[in-house]
Structure 1
């Protein structure tokens, strides 16, 4: 057979090979888009639940390897590991409380700032029945002033003024320079010499880093994150949603 008759067959084979590769690439792209759509849908659903306070408490149980009956009857606790072992952390509420809420927050996190007023309202309402523990989780990669702000909060806690200082930082989240942090301490009437020495010497840097490490170990990936007797809830809850979760545990 002459070369003239062989050439079309070679061209057809090459064309088919090229088409096959294109089909495979197209299938892979479609699968990736479907997978992305699945995760986007899940993220949006969770966002809606957080926004409107409609989180299904049974799902929290499932995420913690508990059955619905376990969740309603026997709540696991992380208090020994994440609360009682760290008595220097800011705490509000009696130690004998039936419910311990461990908060992991970042002073430069905008979601934490938007959540702060509702959180403080709930803390004031339940402080005689619920123990609230604050843990630092500074995400310095995106919030470069979060670490120093967290250390400043601990310096204020040393003078028993953490919660008032906490509120000032969230109300002035765009002003967290060292000088700002010192001025807030002065505004609260703290011993400024003691506070400034504490901040400048990074007295609580290791403690803040320990909080961050504990949070990572506990599965914290962002802020705010809360643990209700060991059950993790991520994101910003509405005031009614937060009260609903707290009441659930108190009514056990």
Structure 2
């Protein structure tokens, strides 16, 4: 066999294998930008999505109220703190007409720090102390020092042993993971994110605008 024939015999199988793998990769290729049909199907699915309300979710207002807002927020978010104050005013004026389901989204990466404000909020809510905790958390912009954490249980009337047991368990992290998963599905980009009848709405600027949107009288 000549040198040329040997080279051909060597490279032809290599060329065949190369084209074979290229063919496989083309068949496996997923475009970076999905087709219009895929986007439409996803948006339709999202439009029919009902935001899950978990038993652990804190509720502001009357649980039996017929109108419900779902709010995703963070204690380090100044607009979230302002919105909380607005809800306090609205609930004082209309205590039986609507309620707010709070879902906290942390900026901290997983695994979450033991002192993450949303972990603390979960355990405070287990003792029905979510509202006083939230007032403290917003005042501290969600950042608890060792000193503020040491006095927290006394300041808001928590049973310290039960609170610490909760913090050492997996329950807060599991709950935060569930909330984060819902946030990703809803493609939340900015906080606070407000949903009414499972649709995201723009935040009204005044108390009067809120009353119109919610039909409060």
TM-score range, shorter chain: 0.5 to 0.7
Taking the TM superposition and a 5 Å limit, the aligned residue runs for 1:1-252 are 81-83=51-53, 86-140=54-108, 148-173=116-141, 175-177=143-145, 179-234=147-202, 237-247=205-215
CA distance in 2, matches of 1:101, 1:178: 34
Question: How far 1:244 sits from its partner (Å)?
Answer: 2.9
Question: How far 1:145 sits from its partner (Å)?
Answer: 7.2
* Partners of 1:104 and 1:135 within 8 A in 2: yes
Distance 1:92 1:235, change over 3 A: closer
Question: How far 1:110 sits from its partner (Å)?
Answer: 2.0
Where do 5+ consecutive residues of structure 1 fail to align? 1-63, 66-75
Distance 1:221 1:171, change over 3 A: same
Quick check: which one's helix share is greater?
Answer: 1
Match of 1:48 in 2: none
TM-score by length of structure 2 reads 0.66
Match of 1:11 in 2: none
Question: How far 1:96 sits from its partner (Å)?
Answer: 4.1
Question: How far 1:245 sits from its partner (Å)?
Answer: 2.0
Question: How far 1:185 sits from its partner (Å)?
Answer: 2.5
Residue 82 of structure 1 aligns to a residue in which SS? coil
The superposition leaves residues 228-250 of structure 1 with CA deviations (integer Å, 9 ceiling, x where unpaired) of 11121255743333333222xx5
* Partners of 1:153 and 1:162 within 8 A in 2: yes
* Partners of 2:103 and 2:179 within 8 A in 1: yes
Residue 135 of structure 1 aligns to a residue in which SS? strand
CA distance in 2, matches of 1:242, 1:114: 14
Question: How far 1:95 sits from its partner (Å)?
Answer: 4.3
CA distance in 1, matches of 2:78, 2:116: 17
* Partners of 2:68 and 2:101 within 8 A in 1: yes
CA RMSD of aligned residues (A): 3.0
* Partners of 1:92 and 1:133 within 8 A in 2: yes
Question: How far 1:192 sits from its partner (Å)?
Answer: 1.1
CA distance in 2, matches of 1:186, 1:208: 25
Q: Kindly tell me the number of residue pairs found equivalent between the two proteins.
A: 171
Distance 1:153 1:235, change over 3 A: same
